[in-house]
Amino acid sequence: MKATFKRPKTSKGWLSLGLIAFIILLGSWPVIHLFNREVIVFGLPLLMVWSIVLIFLTTFTMLFINKIGGVD
């Protein structure tokens, strides 16, 4: 079976792809390096707080993509 990559054909598809790429970039090394400090926020290290924020951002992004894609 040949594996292929299908590019989005609609503007909603491109927006979804862009949002997913943006979330992936927020969790990559250059951004993580900014939050890897010895700072305590809400009793947690800053990097752990950023990880929790990233989980919520990912969840809400997926909900938004499902909403604009017509999936209920």
The predicted pLDDT at position 72 comes to 53
User: pLDDT by residue (tens digit) across 2-47?
Assistant: 888 888 899 999 999 999 999 999 999 888 999 999 999 999 999 9
The predicted pLDDT at position 63 comes to 94
Instruction: Round to whole Å and give the CA distance between 48 and 45.
Output: 5
Cβ contact 69:12 at 8 Å? yes
The predicted pLDDT at position 3 comes to 80
